[in-house]
């Protein structure tokens, strides 16, 4: 794949990361709230909680960055390559000629914010081979693959 040109690509939509950002904002809101109303018995307790919240926030930010860089669905000249997940990863390498069907679906939030779930099915398997959720640019990707197949 190193020598192949990427013809089409879709990545995670920004809405996929909203929940993680809301968790970070809640943690810092709680920390500031505790500081203002002075609910801790000592300053050391407050520093311990601040340290724990900071570590949690750093882990969330690192996971967002890793997910954004590593989650993709690409079509090269000869194959489709997909990768998703940080800890439990799922990878797809399939030749374009073996694609039985490819499509996309979305729910209410997907319609509002413009993201889809891309479903790739290989020939010879009785189920969806690869499911890529919260994909931005899924319509263009699926159309490019369908043009290449036909």
DSSP labels, 4-36: SPEEEEEEE-GGGGHHHHHHHHHHHHHHHHHHH
For the chain, the domain total comes to 2
pLDDT of residue 61: 94
CATH code: domain of residue 96: 2.30.29.30
Question: In which band, very low, low, confident or very high, does the pLDDT at 40 lie, cut at 50, 70 and 90?
Answer: low
Determine the Cα–Cα distance for residues 71 and 83; give it in Å rounded to an integer: 5
Tokens 């311990």 locate to 48
Whether pLDDT at 130 is above 60? yes
Residues 78, 138: one domain? yes
User: Do 35 and 48 belong to one domain?
Assistant: yes
Dihedral sign for Cα atoms in the order 13, 87, 73, 123: negative
Per-residue pLDDT tens for 98-123?
888 899 999 999 999 999 999 998 87
Strand ranges in 13-128 using DSSP code E only, listed in sequence order: 72-76, 79-84, 90-95, 99-105, 116-122
Q: What is the mean pLDDT of residues 17-33?
A: 91
pLDDT digits (tens, 9 = 90+) for 48-63: 888 999 999 999 999 9
Mean per-residue pLDDT of the chain: 88
Whether 61 and 112 map to the same domain: the answer is no
For residue 71, give the 3-state DSSP assignment.
coil
Q: What is the CA radius of gyration of the chain?
A: 21
Q: What would the mean pLDDT of 57-78 be, rounded to a whole number?
A: 93
Q: Quick one: 50 and 81 in the same domain? A: no
pLDDT at 126: 65
Query: Taking the model in full, what pTM does it have?
Result: 0.80
What is the reported pLDDT for 144? Answer: 93
Q: At 83, phi and psi to the nearest 5?
A: -150, 130
pLDDT for the residue 22: 95
Residue 79 shares a structural domain with residue 34:
no
Q: Determine the structural domain holding residue 79 and report its residue range.
A: 6-13+71-149
- Same domain, yes or no, for 75 and 144? yes
- 102 against 36, higher pLDDT: 102
Any domain includes 61: yes
* pLDDT, position 113: 93
- Band of pLDDT at residue 141, cut at 50, 70 and 90: very high
Q: Residue 128: inside a domain, yes or no?
A: yes
Compute how many other C-beta atoms are within 10 angstroms of the C-beta atom of residue 74: 19
Residues 79 and 112 in one domain: yes
Which position has the higher pLDDT, 4 or 8? 8
């Amino acid at each position: 794949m190193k020598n192949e040109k990427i013809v089409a690509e879709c990545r995670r939509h920004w809405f996929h990361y909203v929940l993680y950002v809301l968790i970070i904002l809640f943690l810092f809101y709680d920390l500031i709230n505790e500081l203002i109303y002075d609910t801790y018995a000592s300053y050391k307790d407050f520093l311990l909680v601040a340290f724990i919240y900071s570590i949690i926030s750093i882990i969330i930010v690192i996971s967002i960055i890793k997910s954004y860089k590593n989650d993709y669905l690409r079509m090269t000249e000869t194959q489709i390559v997909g990768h998703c997940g940080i800890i439990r990863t799922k990878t797809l390498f399939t030749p374009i000629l073996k694609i039985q069907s490819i499509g996309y679906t979305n729910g209410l939030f997907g319609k509002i914010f413009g993201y889809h779930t891309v479903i790739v099915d290989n020939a010879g398997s009785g189920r969806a081979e690869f499911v890529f959720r919260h994909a931005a640019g899924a319509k263009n990707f699926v159309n490019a693959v369908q043009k290449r197949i036909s």
